[in-house]
């Protein structure tokens, strides 16, 4: 019996109220007369949770977060009508999630360029395992096609930072052999200088990982990162270029929101997973810090320069076409995942073609030939302002 279950005092004899009260909580009162203030019913706060690795669901209050603040974040994200899923994680617990009608946490979404951050992580592991000797090592030590060319001095660091001197615009998506295309893509500026976001630059992770480690990029990523952080790799998709042979490393991972959240936690916690250091802390820190004004190692840094406005929190993000996102706030152990409504049947396989591709453009109304306005995404700067109190 609790105090709140007792009958109301106003229709009970005073002595009964006093006796019941004393049995439940011990009433105050002086001189046996039962005088004094009546007890006040209180609901103790939920027991605080220690940081974990399980991605169990937890009440926001158990992480000292207001449910109203969580709801505000989810409401803002779902102002975007093309969103399929949003998942908010703090201290390793899912404290907020929402899905489009008909979708659940088990629905696969796709990554587009969020995959760049995954394959950059694989480069970090290869460095830790000494398959790659140094970030300042010339990539031509592995990419023999560049020896004796104007690309011979491009370093692995230059590639990670998108400062390899390769231009942005290309037809790589439509190419048959996308690795050959990336290797032969013409350099247009001095390496190590200007940041230029370039898909062919990130496709270079494919031959780098294969030639450095002896494993193809998909296998190395599966073995070294995905499986150790608890992702069931039998339930995901990993895309190949139109040859069906070359893993695509500038986009192309189909994952559940929880899978993306696990990867975000790995980076929020400095490359550690449940006591095992999967990627060196120094590599993770460099990845999430601006090496140019707004970009780390295949991660965006959402700072004042990125938004063109003052930003109160230090968040890095993996961002992909049509609204795929992993936000990582290491100081507060917060990860937020957003995916766009996705249309792809796994039975079609994962070899890219004109008829088989990661279809998020239908939901976004941005496919070739679409008519009418594209579905706009939510305001990311406003999202940062809504996230700020969750970390307080």
- Beta strands of 310-386 (E only): which ranges? 316-320, 324-329, 334-340
Are 30 and 71 within one domain? no
Q: How far apart are CA 71 and CA 88, in angstroms?
A: 10
Q: What is the DSSP letter of 373?
A: P
pLDDT of residue 29: 39
Q: Are 122 and 139 within 8 A, CB to CB?
A: no
C-alpha–C-alpha distance, residues 26 and 36, integer Å? 12
Q: Is 106 helix (H, G, I), strand (E, B) or coil?
A: coil
In a domain, residue 146? The reply is yes
Alpha-carbon distance 382 to 376, whole Å? 14
Buried b (16+ CB within 10 A) or exposed e, 277-299: ebbeeebbebbbebbeebbbbbb
Whether 154 and 164 have beta carbons less than 8 Å apart is answered as yes
Statement to judge: residues 28 and 77 lie in one domain: no
Which class for 137: exposed (0-12), middle (13-18), buried (19 or more C-beta within 10 A)?
Answer: middle
Whether the CB-CB separation of 38 and 21 falls below 8 Å is answered with yes
- CA 133: distance to chain centroid? 28
Q: What phi, psi does 196 have (nearest 5°)?
A: -140, 120
pLDDT on residue 16? 34
d(CA 16, CA 97): 48
Q: Does a structural domain hold residue 329?
A: yes
In a domain, 18, yes or no: yes
CB atoms within 10 A of CB 207: 22
**What element of type H or E holds 266?**
helix 257-268
Q: Are residues 20 and 164 in the same domain?
A: no
pLDDT at 322: 98
Mean pLDDT, contiguous 10-residue spans, the chain (392 residues): 36 36 37 46 66 96 97 98 98 98 98 98 98 98 98 98 95 98 98 97 98 98 98 98 98 98 98 98 98 97 98 97 98 98 97 98 97 97 98 85
Same domain as 84, residue 35: no
Shared domain check, 199 and 152: yes
Calpha distance 18→298 (Å, rounded): 68
Q: For residue 50, is it within any domain?
A: no
Asked if residues 315 and 387 have their Cβ atoms less than 8 Å apart, the reply is yes
Residue 17 shares a structural domain with residue 151: no
Contact (CB, 8 A) for 186 and 149: no
The answer to the question of residue 189 being in a domain is yes
Residues 79, 12 share a domain: no
Does residue 354 share a domain with residue 290?
Answer: yes
Same domain, 37 and 64: no
Task: Assess if residue 52 is contained within a domain.
Answer: no
State the pLDDT at residue 268.
Answer: 98
Residue 385: partners with Cβ closer than 8 Å, 6 or more residues away: 312
CB 321 within 8 A of CB 112: yes
- Tell me the residue range of the domain where 19 lies: 1-43
Residues 113 and 6 occupy one common structural domain: no
Q: Is 49 a domain residue?
A: no
Q: What is the DSSP letter of 159?
A: H
Adjacency order of strands within the sheet including 324-329: 93-99, 83-90, 334-340, 324-329, 316-320, 300-301
Provide the number of structural domains found in the chain.
Answer: 2
Question: What pLDDT score does 42 carry?
Answer: 55
Q: How far apart are CA 95 and CA 93, in angstroms?
A: 6
- Distance of alpha carbon 312 from alpha carbon 385, whole angstroms: 7
**Per the domain annotation, does 150 fall within a domain?**
yes
Q: How far apart are CA 183 and CA 203, in angstroms?
A: 9
For the chain, helix, strand, coil in percent to 5 are 35, 15, 50
Is residue 139 domain-shared with residue 281, that is, in the same domain? yes
Q: State the chain's maximal CA–CA distance in angstroms.
A: 100
Rounded distance between C-alpha atoms, residue 86 and residue 78, angstroms: 8
pTM here is: 0.88
Q: 277 and 225: one domain?
A: yes
User: Which CATH number fits the domain that encloses residue 226?
Assistant: 3.40.710.10
What integer pLDDT is reported at residue 48 of this predicted model? 80
């Amino acid at each position: 019996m609790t105090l709140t279950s007792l009958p109301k005092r106003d229709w009970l004899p005073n002595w009964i109220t006093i006796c019941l009260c004393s049995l439940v909580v011990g009433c105050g009162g002086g001189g046996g007369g039962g005088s004094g203030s009546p007890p006040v019913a209180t609901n103790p706060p939920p027991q605080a949770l220690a940081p974990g690795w399980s991605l169990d669901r937890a009440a926001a209050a158990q992480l000292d977060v207001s449910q109203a603040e969580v709801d505000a974040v989810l409401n803002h994200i779902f102002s975007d009508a093309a969103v399929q899923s949003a998942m908010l994680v703090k201290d390793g617990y899912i404290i907020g999630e929402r899905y489009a009608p008909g979708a659940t946490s088990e629905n696969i979404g796709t990554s587009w360029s969020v995959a760049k951050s995954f394959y950059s992580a694989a480069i970090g592991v290869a460095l830790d395992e000494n398959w790659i000797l140094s970030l300042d090592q010339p990539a031509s030590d592995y990419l023999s096609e560049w020896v004796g060319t104007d690309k011979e001095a491009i370093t692995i660091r230059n590639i990670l930072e998108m400062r390899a001197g390769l231009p942005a615009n290309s037809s790589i998506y439509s190419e048959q052999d996308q690795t050959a295309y990336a290797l032969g893509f013409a350099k247009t500026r001095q390496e190590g200088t200007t940041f230029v976001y370039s898909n062919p630059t990130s496709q270079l992770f494919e031959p780098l990982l294969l030639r450095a480690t002896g494993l193809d990029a998909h296998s190395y990523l599966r073995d070294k990162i995905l499986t150790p952080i608890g992702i069931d790799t039998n339930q995901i998709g990993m895309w190949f270029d139109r040859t069906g042979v070359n893993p695509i490393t500038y986009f192309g991972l189909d994952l559940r929101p929880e899978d993306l959240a696990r990867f975000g936690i790995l980076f929020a916690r400095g490359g550690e997973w449940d006591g095992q250091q999967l990627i060196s802390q120094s590599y993770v820190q460099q990845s999430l810090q601006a090496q140019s004004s707004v970009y780390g190692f295949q991660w965006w840094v959402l700072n004042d320069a990125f938004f063109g406005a003052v930003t109160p929190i230090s968040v890095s993000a993996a961002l992909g076409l049509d609204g795929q996102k992993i936000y990582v706030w290491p100081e507060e152990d917060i990860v937020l995942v957003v995916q766009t409504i996705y249309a792809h049947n796994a039975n079609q396989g994962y070899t890219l073609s004109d008829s088989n591709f990661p279809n998020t453009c239908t939901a976004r109304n941005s496919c070739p030939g679409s008519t009418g306005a594209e579905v706009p995404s939510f305001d990311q700067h406003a999202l940062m302002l809504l996230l700020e109190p969750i970390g307080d």
